[in-house]
């Protein structure tokens, strides 16, 4: 009887052990980390024994409450269950061990800065020409409005003459005289308007020619800039090679070579400076 009770007890214990181990296996199998796709620079941190998202956020983000930020780069089946040797995707800016920091962008070269400065100057000149053109168009619009006013006055005069002609009788001759005067005045006004229009047309043609010249000047300026930049690039490459020879000099038979090279280097720099000043003038 005692043997039977012992066997039953042992069977229950084994059953409980198997059940608990099965639960742990299920939990272990369900705890997975899947990285998300992102355009940001990221890397993978290998989870160590004892790591939790809470402690990792506290250690590397300086705030344990930021552990939710890991969900920006990962999908967790259970964020409270992470296991050693799992790969956790993190931002490259967080400073996790084993995750390379992104390389900073190289600073702009002197040639790039010079090109931007020249382009800014050309943009300013073009903007000034554009403003001058708009101002001329506004002035022409105002004068056209004045012409419309004069034409309206002439139309009123003609209407008055027509009314006088309708009166007939003795006022007919006076109306004819007034009509002649009005026609003469109308001709003068038409001639004045024609002269003004011709003057405006000539002014607009002159402005157009100035804009064409400015555009050609911009094209020539850009070509000079490209040639200057090409020359500066050649001098820069030649200077870099000579500096490399200075930093790693071969065995020299004479001490006069460094002096000659430095003289050539100073002369090249002076040539580039004079060319740059000449182009800007």
Q: Is 276 found in the same domain as 215?
A: yes
Our count of domains for the chain comes to 2
Q: Is residue 13 part of a domain?
A: no
Q: Is 119 found in the same domain as 90?
A: no
Q: Is 213 found in the same domain as 84?
A: no
| Secondary structure string (H, E, C) spanning 221-232 | HHHHHHHHHHHH
Q: What sign results for the dihedral spanned by CA atoms 75, 79, 85, 87?
A: positive
Lowest mean pLDDT across 15-19, 250-254, 263-267: 15-19
Q: Is 84 found in the same domain as 209?
A: no
H helix or E strand, kind and range, residue 129: helix 110-167
Instruction: Give the predicted TM-score (pTM) of the model.
Output: 0.32
Q: Is residue 144 part of a domain?
A: yes
> If pLDDT is split at 50, 70 and 90, which confidence band does 253 have?
very low
Helix (H, G, I), strand (E, B) or coil at 44: strand
Q: Is 141 found in the same domain as 93?
A: no
* Token reading at 199: 């003057």
Q: Is 134 found in the same domain as 67?
A: no
pLDDT digits (tens, 9 = 90+) for 33-74: 999 999 999 999 999 999 999 999 999 999 999 999 999 999
Single residue among 72, 98, 124 that ends a domain in this structure: 98
Number of H helices, E strands in the chain: 5, 4
Q: Is residue 176 part of a domain?
A: yes
* Token reading at 192: 């004045």
Residue 246 lies in domain = 111-280
234 contact partners, CB below 8 Å, separation of at least 6: none
């Amino acid at each position: 009887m005692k043997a039977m009770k012992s066997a039953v007890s042992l069977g229950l214990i084994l059953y409980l052990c198997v059940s608990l181990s099965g639960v742990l296996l299920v939990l272990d199998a369900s705890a997975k980390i899947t990285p998300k796709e992102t355009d940001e620079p990221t890397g993978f941190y290998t989870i160590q024994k004892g790591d939790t998202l809470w402690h990792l956020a506290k250690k590397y983000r300086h705030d344990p409450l930021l552990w939710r930020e890991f969900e920006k780069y990962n999908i967790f089946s259970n964020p409270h269950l992470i296991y050693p040797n799992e790969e956790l995707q993190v931002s490259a800016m967080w400073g996790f061990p084993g995750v390379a920091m992104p390389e900073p962008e190289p600073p702009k070269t002197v040639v790039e800065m010079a090109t931007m400065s020249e382009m800014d100057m050309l943009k300013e000149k073009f903007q000034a020409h554009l403003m001058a053109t708009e101002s001329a168009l506004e002035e022409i619009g105002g004068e056209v409005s004045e012409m419309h006013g004069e034409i309206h006055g002439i139309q009123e005069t003609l209407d008055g003459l027509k009314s006088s002609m309708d009166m007939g009788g003795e006022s007919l001759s006076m109306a004819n005289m007034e009509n002649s005067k009005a026609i003469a005045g109308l001709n003068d006004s038409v001639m004045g308007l024609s002269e003004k229009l011709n003057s405006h047309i000539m002014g607009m043609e002159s402005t157009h020619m100035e804009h064409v010249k400015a555009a050609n000047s911009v094209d020539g300026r850009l070509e000079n800039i490209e040639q200057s930049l090409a020359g500066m690039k050649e001098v820069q490459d030649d200077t870099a090679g000579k500096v490399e020879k200075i930093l790693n000099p071969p065995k020299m038979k004479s001490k006069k070579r460094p002096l000659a090279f430095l003289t050539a280097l100073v002369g090249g720099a002076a040539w580039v400076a004079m060319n740059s000043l000449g182009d800007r003038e």
